[in-house]
Structure 1
Amino acid sequence: MRILIISDTHGRTNTIRDVLDTVGDIDMFIHLGDVCGDEEYIYDNVTCPIHMVAGNNDWDSDLPMQEEFMIGRYKVFITHGHRYSVHYGTDYLQELVKYDGYDIVMYGHTHVQNLERYGGAYIVNPGSLAYPRDGMNGKYMLLEFDQHGTPFFAENELKPKRRMRSIFEDMWGDREE
């Protein structure tokens, strides 16, 4: 099973299109909020099961604030994270693991990739596909399982498909020395 995990696309449909083209076939698609209107594109273009939650910028969305589901034998909880104070750490998410028995907790909101273990559980943030705060390139994760069912999370960057222009080119144009 191959699962694409993204977050914080903020209406930049091109980043979703680019990551789908980059990763190829997937068995599940997870978006952790701040979809900002890209729901229709996702529903129209993703053919596998989709799990999406609303973020703090999805005030006009009908998406749920959080969702619980199973991936194989793993109990999964997804949320955007803004209601769990994730800018200050994952303490509240660790409480979910401790008291509700989740094996995998996924969140977004911080725009920074994070992969940590708490007890036997995984707490993961794929970073932001559109506006990363931990580098220049958009971030995402792939979750795959080995033959024994052990999960492996791969932290990835979406490489730009075109050359970025510098602010100085915009201001002064290409200059010959």
Structure 2
Amino acid sequence: MRYVVISDTHGRIAKWANQLVNLSDVDGLICAGDFYRDGLWLAQKMGVPYYGAQGNNDHDVHAPWATFWQSHGVRFGVIHGHQWPASQRLAALQRLAHQFTLQVLVFGHSHKRESYHTSETWIVNPGAGFRPVQSPPSFGWLTYDAEGSLNFSWDVLS
């Protein structure tokens, strides 16, 4: 299983949309908001399922604040993350992951690549497609192999 993970594109996807649309062996697209509709459009173009959450700049869409699902026995969640101050965000995300028994929780908002891994949970931020902080524009790869191993990595949007 292989998911493409994006966040914080803010409508600025024209420059690199083809890079994602032309990816192969993708089982779904996860978008942590800002802009929800960018992720929806990309997933439709890629022909894959879409799992998204609206962010604090998604004013013109009716979308969930958080989405939870299960695939291949793994429980996933996605939320933008603006609901908490930066100083409290990780602890709040850890509580949310525990509350919903998630193995993977994707978030955005900070425009920074972040990854926190414990024996039970991955909490990851793919960075930003627009105005990233401390890295080039990026997206994430979330993979789950036949041996049951979860992994998260980043790739550059160009």
Same fold (TM over 0.5): yes
Match of residue 144 from structure 1: 143
Instruction: Using the TM superposition, name which of 69-78 and 11-20 deviates more.
Output: 11-20
Partner of 1:99: 99
| Aligned ranges 1:1-177 → 2 under 5 Å | 1-15=1-15, 17-21=17-21, 23-35=23-35, 37-38=37-38, 41-42=41-42, 44-85=44-85, 87-88=86-87, 89-135=89-135, 137-159=136-158
- How many residue pairs match? The answer is 157
Q: Distance in 2 between matches of 1:72 and 1:152?
A: 14
1:152 maps to amino acid: N
CA contact (8 A) 1:11 1:36 kept: no
Question: CA separation of 1:84/1:75 partners in 2, compared to 1, >3 Å: closer, same or farther?
Answer: farther
Q: TM-score, normalised by structure 2?
A: 0.88
Say which structure, 1 or 2, has more relative contact order (CA 8 Å, 6+ apart): 2
Gaps of 5+ in 2: none
* Runs (5+) with no aligned partner, structure 1: 160-177
Structure 1: 4+ residue segments shifted above 4 A: none
**Retained in 2: the 8 A contact 1:139–1:156?**
yes
Q: Post-superposition shift, 1:37? A: 4.8
Q: Which is higher, the Rg of structure 1 or of structure 2?
A: 1
User: How high is the sequence identity, in percent, across the aligned residues?
Assistant: 27
Change (3 A) 1:45 1:93: same
Normalised by the size of structure 1, how large is the TM-score? 0.80
The answer on whether the counterparts of 2:43 and 2:49 sit within 8 Å (CA) in structure 1 is: no
Whether the aligned pair in 2 keeps the contact of 1:33 and 1:79 (CA below 8 Å) is: yes
Q: Give the Cα separation in 1 of the matches to 2:117 and 2:155.
A: 18
> Aligned partner of 1:143: which letter?
L
> C-alpha distance in 1, partners of 2:99/2:36?
32
Deviations along 1:129-158, one digit per CA (max 9) or x if unpaired, are: 1221122x2111111122212111112222
Alpha-carbon distance in 2 for matches of 1:73, 1:44: 25
CA contact (8 A) 2:140 2:153 kept: yes
Greater CA drift, 11-20 or 99-108? 11-20
- Superposition CA RMSD, Å: 2.0
AA partner of residue 148 (structure 1): E
Change (3 A) 1:77 1:39: closer
